[in-house]
Structure 1
């Protein structure tokens, strides 16, 4: 082995030992989360409703939630799809958030829960923060993911066969061999097949956790430029706070979105107090998918349209960053994509385990053991006769 490869091998082993446990946890939780929508749809009846006419306006849903939680601030309203419930995320102050589900056609509250008690939200927080405080956890996970990316690349360099005659053997697992050999092949062969997808999952995960990564992806896709209309936040005209309509602004925003995106399956409305002077609504082409969206921002005081994000007019960078979540969980390709993301995450979880077994096996190899030298009996007799 060349000196360069010895250095690469040293880095590969020790970086793997440092980050292995975190990579295992993050990968396993990623496997579980891939199918969270399908699993919850099968488990919980409140995630389905019967279609009955037209959606109620968001102000009606908010009013029903306020009756139940008068001290709450219903800041986010979700219309998940024709046969799905509406959801209202309500800020309860010191008590955290309450997630209220309603029938979007009747306004009836069908279910409510604190997000932190939902199993898949817990899985997501483990995946993102290891249940540590977010400011600490995201860095522990982020650094481990970056190390894992280095490990994948160094592993590929170490594994790549020099001779063409070795390639066929290197691309397959020798199932009939000893278990240590099978383990070695599982580590190398599965690692090779998973590398490209694993790197994509790692980069998209970093973009979710770290805004600078997301901005870097945006700039790279836009060839180093920012589109001013996309990066400048809309602001309310503070001189015109008198309402121009008797309708609540969230209803104006929702009606506008439905009119201008009639084929959209899902709508998300935000009335976040931290967003200065604007109410936003997004219209998504497919239910439970967060890409291919049109969006609009309205002045929360008078309902004036401040800004529009039309999908066909978005820059490549904005389209790509909005696809980030769908790419990360695999749903950008539908069910086959989720299956691929699940399998690759499972392989990533196995790599620290199989790698540790390889490392442990090499450490346990006996050293300094005398090597037996086979001597042909006839030659031995001749030597004795000569003596």
Structure 2
């Protein structure tokens, strides 16, 4: 196939994908930009509530805290215990029968009294649902994540076809790749902005797309796990067989917390204890190793009846591929590169509306140009017939 014909096909594919998916991509990108510094915004807004004055009294233990909270009627799903005694404790609640979930709650670690809900929680929850599932029914189990996944695949297609379409005659010239032609007007300026800014953000969009597909398609997640991770049997440190618990023994988070602290000491920033569901007595404990609450964490499975540590999945034991999977969200939003990375990713996401606008303008100008060409050919044909 000749190069002009191939480029015509790629241009058609690029244009159709852009027109069909433009609205979804702009919505996903803008909401992603809003969430880029979510942790920092929340931390600043909540600083006055989550940082407490030291108290001579000991902190309440998880069971007492949960009992006090569940007296209000909402069952607790997890409790996050910070290592620092002057930081507030966070509880998250289970879903209600209507599939809604009450907002998380901060607790005073010495009295168990409520310190209020996280600031802007409802706002960011809505933005996150819009980003991942477009607020469509079913949330993560609905078809919204399939729509965003298809949009991500469409963006990947546009990135690759766009790179081929804009490949310059002098590919070694940095100026050609990165400098817009500001002296142009109309269609020429739109094309220059569309192509040059696309070059600036190409790598960022590739990273966003390839990581974002993890949350859209199970087959993609399975393939990435197969490629980058070892078998779960080899990634977890197994401990001694669990000590049989008395028939009357109940799940105790105090017992789990004591076992965890004995195992870890002070080598953690915060730990989330997730209550077991059904008849299972295994409590999952996620221990963050830094205050960032990022992918650098260890996971434990502890028997809530005996306090026996059943397994430990430690970050230090992970391979490079497994560490990449553990920090996929940090890669997706650029925080793995620190705040400069977050800023670059936020600006790149915020630039998506520009692609939508310039892309539509280019498409309309091409259609108008073709109509003018056809009209000119028709007029020329009529003149020849008359002649």
On whether the aligned pair clears a TM of 0.5, the verdict is yes
Alpha-carbon distance change, 294 to 42 in structure 1, aligned in 2, over 3 angstroms: closer
CA distance in 1, matches of 2:238, 2:157: 36
Spell out, residue by residue over 1:30-82, the C-alpha distance to the aligned partner (whole angstroms, 9 max, x if none): 00011122223344466532242565322232122123x2x322121123574
Alpha-carbon distance change, 64 to 364 in structure 1, aligned in 2, over 3 angstroms: same
Instruction: Work out which of the residue numbers 364, 367, 384 in structure 1 matches 2:368.
Output: 364
The aligned counterpart of 1:75 is 77
What is the total number of aligned residue pairs between the two structures? 363
The aligned counterpart of 2:382 is none
The aligned counterpart of 1:297 is 301
CA distance in 2, matches of 1:105, 1:186: 58
Q: Provide structure 2 residue ranges, at least 5 long, that are not aligned to the other structure.
A: 378-387
CA distance in 1, matches of 2:242, 2:83: 33
Q: Secondary structure, in 3 states, of the residue corresponding to 1:50?
A: coil
CA RMSD of aligned residues (A): 3.1
The aligned counterpart of 1:258 is 261
CA distance in 2, matches of 1:92, 1:163: 58
The aligned counterpart of 1:52 is 54
Q: Secondary structure, in 3 states, of the residue corresponding to 1:367?
A: helix
Q: Provide structure 1 residue ranges, at least 5 long, that are not aligned to the other structure.
A: 372-387
* TM-score (ref. length: structure 1): 0.83
**Partners of 1:49 and 1:103 within 8 A in 2:** no
The aligned counterpart of 2:94 is 91
Larger radius of gyration: 1
**Partners of 2:51 and 2:88 within 8 A in 1:** yes
**Partners of 1:26 and 1:128 within 8 A in 2:** yes
Deviation at 1:214, TM superposition (A): 2.7
The aligned counterpart of 2:13 is 11
The aligned counterpart of 1:192 is 199
Spell out, residue by residue over 1:135-172, the C-alpha distance to the aligned partner (whole angstroms, 9 max, x if none): 11111111111111111111111111133476523321
**Partners of 1:283 and 1:295 within 8 A in 2:** yes
* TM-score (ref. length: structure 2): 0.83
CA distance in 2, matches of 1:231, 1:138: 30
**Partners of 1:81 and 1:287 within 8 A in 2:** no
Deviation at 1:243, TM superposition (A): 6.9
Alpha-carbon distance change, 16 to 81 in structure 1, aligned in 2, over 3 angstroms: farther
CA distance in 2, matches of 1:313, 1:243: 37
Alignment partner of 1:118 is 2:125: no
